[in-house]
Amino acid sequence: MILIIDFGSQTTHLIGRRLRQLGVAIEYIDPEEIIDQIKKIKPLGLIFSGGPASVYEDGAPDIDSKVFALGIPIFSICYGWQLMAQHLGGKVKNGFKEYGPEKLLLKSNYLHLPAKKFQVFMSHGDTVIKLPKGFEILGSTKQVRNAFMVDKDRKFYGVQFHPEADHTNYGLEILRYFAHQVCKEKLEPLDLNPQQIISHIAKKVGKNKVICAVSGGVDSTVAAFLIGQAIGQNLIPVYVESGLMRQGTKKLVKHIFTKLIKADLVIVEAKKHFMQALKGVTDPEEKRKIIGELYIDIFQKEAKNHQQVKFLGQGTIYSDVIESKGSKKASKIKSHHNVGGLPAGMKLKLLEPVREFYKDEVRELGRIVGIPKKIVMQQPFPGPGNAVRIRGEVTAKRLAQQRQADAIVVAEIKRAGLWHQIFQCFSVMSGTDSTAVKGDARVFAEVVAVRAYESKDIMTSKWAELPYEVMQKISSRIVNEVPNVSRVVYDITTKPPATMEWE
């Protein structure tokens, strides 16, 4: 086993996911528990995660320095590397910020990687400016000299980048080298096992019924399918028509839960409730919490129409959890409506069969259980819908603009044959006005942003390099067809530093 010490990184869980891919048993622990857990578990190696703090701040997460004298190999990432360097006599300083893709140049190919120069993903404001005694440099970026280090004698490794990120080239190879060559772990890749999940659901639910929130998206569809396989007709899928979703969503949900999954689908018309609840609200966090509480209220009212309903099924996945402050030392990025937006006094018990999985794993589970490719490979859509794609107040007018602009983006991406090559694409009503000239007259109207990106697990992303003619077509159609729009801009920000959504 390898222990992962969680310093609060958004991608700590992703480190474990990569090791599970390799077949390595892992366990997450808090830094305060490190010595006790090492004595108890006797791991073959340790991995220090990244984290949002600075090592020189008061109250920053720390560890017992005895860990460095135990003879256990350590692989340290970002904050974890800075902390290890500081404990061993190095020096950490604020500066040389890097967020997103950078090129790493190897000075020594100690790990026998296929290339001397390759892309890595960075997300840091601090850096190690003085190496501890015994460390040598394996690789550097243009800004950060000490980006990849090793102490060969003690088997200590430090990286300023994130090898767990999908957009880091050879990241899995680096983790494999540490697990197999350094820690001597036997690598036996683990397969996803939907039957194990189904059995767990059946045991947990028993003869009770489950109200399952469905949206037509892959996460809620896979979750509902797994629940249905476990409890049969005791599954009650409920679609809430909030008016905030993408055009055609209700039709898709009806198709899924009458043709693909035979269930008694319940559709609750609630457009007026959502628009009234969002009236005058501009803060993104408040929007998410209002929407989350309203959804739960509707589900709990619907539960009263059925006997023996004890659970609310949701398609929560791990990226929702971690962005909503899913671990003790993590930062809250935003309250996902199905996690951080849940009310405290909820009566139904949560049932979230895909909570520990990432988007690509959920899709794979869907494929294994026989859900058609066009469903499992569809683009994700946020639970709060277009409410978080409208900066500022959600009015009927701006919602109509956003839905129309979004439909244009979708139509042109599909027409260009790029729909399945892009993880997600959408428009955003930016809340910013600019000057335009229409019909020789001055117009001062809203700017629409377009975002399209490539990703696998939502934890990192790269903006999609759309052909210019496609961007021109999208822009022309939006400024000509959507009322009160002055111009269109294209978002070319990676994650990190940006999140997928603007709110």
What's the CATH architecture for 194-376? 3-Layer(aba) Sandwich (3.40)
> 327 falls in which pLDDT band (50, 70, 90)?
low
pLDDT band at 343 (very low <50, low <70, confident <90, very high): low
CA atoms within 13 A on the CB side of 320: 25
Q: Among 11-20, 111-120, 211-220, whose mean pLDDT is lowest?
A: 11-20
* Rounded distance between C-alpha atoms, residue 330 and residue 335, angstroms: 13
What's the pLDDT at 344? Answer: 67
Contacts (Cβ under 8 Å, ≥6 apart) of 288: 334, 335, 336, 337, 340, 341, 384, 388, 503
- Radius of gyration of the CA atoms of the chain, in A: 24
Nearest CA to 301 among 250, 346, 258, 357? 346
d(CA 221, CA 213): 9
**In this structure, how many other beta carbons lie within 10 angstroms of the beta carbon of residue 269?**
11
List pLDDT tens digits, range 269-307: 999 999 999 999 999 999 999 999 999 999 999 999 999
Active-site annotation, residues = 78, 162, 164
241 pLDDT tier (thresholds 50, 70, 90): very high
Q: In this model, does residue 376 exceed pLDDT 80?
A: yes
3-state per-residue secondary structure call for 286-329? HHHHHHHHHHHHHHHHHHCCCCCEEEEECCCCHHHHHHECCCCC
Sign of CA dihedral 292, 8, 157, 188: negative
Q: Which residues contact 464 (CB under 8 A, 6 or more apart)?
A: 418, 421, 422, 425, 452, 453, 454
What pLDDT, on the 0 to 100 scale, is given for residue 262? 85
Please give the structure tokens belonging to residue 374: 């066009």
Q: Give residue 170's pLDDT.
A: 97
Q: Identify whether the C-beta of residue 172 lies closer than 8 Å to the C-beta of residue 18.
A: yes
CB 449 within 8 A of CB 491: yes
Ranges of beta strands (E only) in 333-387 are 349-351
**Residue boundaries of the structural domains of the chain:** 2-182, 194-376, 395-491
- When mean pLDDT is compared across 158-162, 255-259, 465-469, the lowest value belongs to 255-259
- Long-range CB contacts (< 8 A, 24+ apart) of 390-395? 390/428, 390/429, 390/431, 391/428, 391/429, 391/430, 391/431, 391/432, 391/502, 391/503, 392/282, 392/429, 392/431, 393/278, 393/279, 393/280, 393/281, 393/282, 394/244, 394/275, 394/278, 394/281, 394/287
Provide the token pair at 267: 């559709």
Residue-averaged pLDDT of the chain = 92
Which one-letter amino acid corresponds to residue 125?
G
pLDDT of 166 above 50: yes
Band of residue 440 on the pLDDT scale cut at 50, 70, 90: confident
pLDDT of 336 over the 50 cut: no
Residue 403 pLDDT greater than 80, yes or no: yes
CATH architecture of 395-491: 2-Layer Sandwich (3.30)
Q: Does the pLDDT value for residue 104 go beyond 70?
A: yes
AA identity, residue 18: R
Question: Is pLDDT of 203 > 50?
Answer: yes
Q: Is the pLDDT of residue 372 over 80?
A: yes
Matching fold, domains 194-376 and 395-491: no
Residues 27, 49 contacting (CB under 8 angstroms):
no
Quick check: bond before 380 cis, omega within 30? no
The stretch 9-30 carries a mean pLDDT of 91
Residue 332 predicted with pLDDT over 70: no
pLDDT at position 456 is 86
pTM recorded for the entire structure: 0.79
CATH superfamily for domain 2-182: Class I glutamine amidotransferase (GATase) domain (3.40.50.880)
Q: 137 burial class (0-12, 13-18, 19+ CB within 10 angstroms)?
A: middle
Percent of the chain exceeding pLDDT 70 equals 95
- As a residue count, the chain comes to 503
For 162, other C-beta atoms within 10 Å of its C-beta total 27
The amino acid present at 27, given as its one-letter code, is: E
Say what the pLDDT of residue 329 is. 55
37 band by pLDDT with thresholds 50, 70 and 90 = very high
What are the DSSP calls for 175-228, one per residue?
HHIIIIIIT-----PPPP-HHHHHHHHHHHHTT-EEEEE--SSHHHHHHHHHHH
pLDDT tens per residue across span 48-93:
999 989 999 999 999 999 999 999 999 999 999 999 999 999 999 9
**Residue 363 structure tokens:** 């899709």
Exposure string of 78-113, with b = 16+ CB inside 10 Å and e = fewer, is bbbbbbbbbbbebebeeebebbbbbebebeeeebeb
Instruction: Give the pLDDT confidence score for residue 321 in this predicted structure.
Output: 77
Is 26's pLDDT higher than 60?
yes
Cβ proximity of 304 and 204 under 8 Å = no
State phi, psi for 302 to the nearest 5 degrees.
Answer: -65, -35
What's the whole-number mean pLDDT along residues 144-161? Answer: 97
Q: Minimal CA–CA distance to 78: which of 98, 59, 108?
A: 98
